[in-house]
Chain A
Amino acid sequence: MEIVILISQVLMALALILAFVRVVRGPSLPDRVVALELFASIVVGLVGLTAIQSDVSSFLDAAIVIALMGFLAAIGFARFLERGGPRDD
């Protein structure tokens, strides 16, 4: 089980790196918003893995909050894009 968790953590860290490359390179702001949303999902998964690894179920509360924040950030960015504000992407 330890090995499975370790492999999964490595895979998800790799996924974080790939998403971060898109955040840096992304040609426009919507691309970056999508990448940041993916970030939130991957971090929720990592927190779930940490809950399994350390046998502490309280980590799930953090996962709920992170998922909520990711959703709200996506909605906020979308409203900002549609309303049109000063942008520098």
Chain B
Amino acid sequence: MIEFIKGVFILSGALFMLLAALGILRLPDLLTRMHATTKAAALGVILIMLAVALHFGEVDVVARALAIIVFILMTAPVAAHVIGRAGYFVGSKLWSGTVKDELRPNYDPLTHELKSGMETEANARREPKESDPS
């Protein structure tokens, strides 16, 4: 039974990784490619590490496999966010079929300032605080 579950985990993990690679090859722009790779590849690694934990079944190995899973779950979103942000700032082109880019009209790439469209003269003025670094 454990052999069967292990085999299912390994095969589906490998399939998810193949899917991620297919996505990074076929999708049209940076953000869609990241959407394919971060989630599918993380799920693939998680499934294979679960298979490793099932295969060994000892406390220390299971702890290490779970540590890898937790690490992947914590780092994959952070890395995706950081690369996506950098890619947007660098000015990588969006796909021609993109429906909406809400950052484009409200964001000034030179000063990194973001507008909400609700500013008045009074609340847009900058007021220095005590806690500001000098």
Contacts and interface: CB of A to CB of B under 8 A. Distances in A.
Interface of A: 1, 4-5, 7-9, 11-12, 14-19, 21-22, 28-31, 33-35, 37-38, 41-42, 44-45, 48-49, 51-52, 57, 60-61, 63-64, 67-68, 70-71, 74-75, 77-79, 81-82
Contact of B68 (A7, A67, A82): A67
B48 A45 contact: yes
Contacts of A33: 83
B60 to A, nearest CB: 8
A14 B90 contact: no
A62 to B, nearest CB: 11
A1 B11 CA distance: 11
B21 A52 contact: no
Contact of B90 (A7, A17, A75, A81): A81
Contact of B10 (A4, A64, A67, A74): A4
Contacts of B82: 74-75, 78-79
Interface string B4-35: 00110011011101101110110000100110
A57 B61 contact: yes
B85 A82 contact: yes
Contacts of A44: 45, 68, 72
Interface residues of B, number: 50
B65 A45 contact: no
A18 B14 contact: no
A51 B33 CA distance: 30
23 contacts: A7-B14, A11-B17, A14-B21, A18-B25, A19-B25, A22-B25, A29-B90, A30-B83, A30-B87, A34-B33, A34-B34, A34-B83, A35-B24, A37-B37, A44-B45, A45-B44, A60-B65, A67-B71, A67-B75, A77-B86, A81-B89, A82-B85, A82-B89
Contacts of A9: 14
A33 B86 CA distance: 11
A12 B18 contact: yes
